[in-house]
Amino acid sequence: FVTLVGPAHAETWPAHPITIVVPFAAGGPSDAMARILAERMKQSLGEVILIENVTGAGGSIGVGRAVRAAPDGYTVSFGHLGTHVANGAIYKLGYDLVEDLEPVVLLPSNPMIIVSKNAVPAKSLKELLEWLKSRPAPPTAGTAGAGSGSHIAGLYFENVSGIKLQYVPYRGTGPALNDLVAGQIDIIVDQTSNSINQVRAGNIRAYAVTDSKRVANAPEVPTVDEAGLPGFHMTLWSGLWVPKGTPQEIVAKLNTAAIQALRDPAVKKQLENLGLQMPPQDQLKPEALGAWQKAEIAKWWPMIKAANVKVE
Ligand code: MLT
C-alpha cells in the first residue's frame, strides 16, 4: 500500500508514540542502550517512545518487522554489527540491510569481553584456553542466536584460538548471562556492557577485552594483546535505522534527538558506566552510519561466509 507520508506529515511528526524495535530480549545490552536513549529522546521529541522486543533468528525477525513497517517515522530499528551486517551473510532475510533501510545515527560501541562461569578453574586467558581445549566435547558458548554480535565474536574467537565451540542460542545475551551465572554454559564472548556488572559482582570470571586498550570502567581486565590472543579485536557498534522511504525531515528530527541524548551528561554517564564508548563526533550524520555499515559488511562478510553457518 502507498502511505500518504509527505511534507505535511513530516511537519506534524511526531503526533503519536514512536516504537523502537529492539531485536533481542529485554535485559540484554541492546535493550539497555535503547531504553537509556529512548528515555531522553522522548523529551526532545515530545512523544512517548515505546520499546518493542521482537526476538529470534539472531535479531533478523525484529529487523524484518521494522523494515516492513510504514515509512512514517513511527517505527525505528535498533541494531548493530550483528543484525545490520552479519545477518546478511547468514540468513535469506527477505529484505536488504542497505537498500530497505535508511540510516539514522551511529550509536555507542563497546569491545567484547571473554567471560566464563565461576566454576572454570582458570586464572588467566592462557589457563582458560587450556581448560577449553581439555574439554571432552566442544565447550558451550552462549549467544543471542546465529548472526548476533555474541555469535560473530564466538566465530572470531574460534578462528584465533583454534578451539571449536558449541553455541547455545538465547533470545538475547541477557538470558544467556543468567545461564552463565548459573553455571549452565561455559563461556560467552559478550558485549562488555552486558557482563561488566556480573564481573564486578564476582558472579562470573573475565579474562580479556577484545580491544587494543583496556576498558575504562574495567581496568583490571587485560586486553587480548596482553593476555595471549593478540589481534583479536572486535568492537560492537550500534545504530538506529528507519524503513526506506521515511521522509528525510523525519530522519533529521530523529537524528537530532538521538545526538541530544548522546550529549546529555546524565545519559553519557549511564552509557559510560556500562563501558560504552561514544561514537566519533564526526560520524553522527545519518550518511555516516550508512557508510560505516557498508564498510563493516565488506570487513566481516568474508569471515562469516567462510564459517558456513547453518541456519534452519
Ligand atoms: C548480541 O548481538 O549478542 C545481542 O546484542 C545481545 C543482546 O543485545 O541481547
- pLDDT at residue 5, as a whole number: 53
Ligand 1 atom 9, closest CA: 172
- pLDDT at residue 217, as a whole number: 85
Amino acid sitting at position 108: P
The whole-number average pLDDT for the span 167-179 is: 98
The whole-number average pLDDT for the span 185-203 is: 97
Beta-strand relationship, 49-53 and 18-22: parallel
**pLDDT score of 56 more than 70:** yes
**pLDDT score of 312 more than 90:** no
58 lines ligand 1 (CB under 6 A): no
150 lines ligand 1 (CB under 6 A): yes
Task: Tell me the best of 30, 37, 236 to mutate to test the pocket of ligand 1, counting ligand atoms within 8 Å of each CB and taking the most.
Answer: 30
> What is the atom index within ligand 1 of the atom nearest the CA of 27?
9
The whole-number average pLDDT for the span 199-226 is: 96
Q: For residue 190, report the distance from its CA to the centre of ligand 1, in Å.
A: 8
Ligand 1 atom 5, closest CA: 30
**pLDDT score of 35 more than 60:** yes
**pLDDT score of 128 more than 60:** yes
Task: Tell me the best of 35, 115, 191 to mutate to test the pocket of ligand 1, counting ligand atoms within 8 Å of each CB and taking the most.
Answer: 191
Q: For residue 191, report the distance from its CA to the centre of ligand 1, in Å.
A: 8
Under the banding of pLDDT at 50, 70 and 90, the label for residue 289 is: very high
Kind and range of the H or E element at 114? strand 101-117
Mutual angle of helices 248-263 and 29-45, in 10-degree steps: 110
The predicted-structure confidence for 226-251, as pLDDT tens digits, reads as follows 999 999 999 999 999 999 999 999 99
- pLDDT at residue 9, as a whole number: 81
Ligand 1 atom 8, closest CA: 30
The whole-number average pLDDT for the span 263-270 is: 97
The predicted-structure confidence for 138-169, as pLDDT tens digits, reads as follows 999 999 999 999 999 999 999 999 999 999 99
Under the banding of pLDDT at 50, 70 and 90, the label for residue 6 is: low
Cell 524495535 maps to which residue?
21
Alpha carbon distance 13, 254 (integer Å)? 10
The proportion of the chain whose per-residue pLDDT surpasses 90, expressed as a percent, equals 95
149 lines ligand 1 (CB under 6 A): yes
Under the banding of pLDDT at 50, 70 and 90, the label for residue 189 is: very high
Q: What is the ipTM of this complex?
A: 0.95
Please report, to the nearest 10 degrees, the dihedral formed by the alpha carbons of residues 222, 226, 227, 231 taken in order: 110
> What is the atom index within ligand 1 of the atom nearest the CA of 25?
9
CA distances from 275 to 30, 80, 94, 141, 270 (A): 13, 16, 34, 22, 9
Under the banding of pLDDT at 50, 70 and 90, the label for residue 1 is: very low
> What is the atom index within ligand 1 of the atom nearest the CA of 58?
2
**pLDDT score of 100 more than 60:** yes
173 lines ligand 1 (CB under 6 A): yes
**pLDDT score of 133 more than 90:** yes
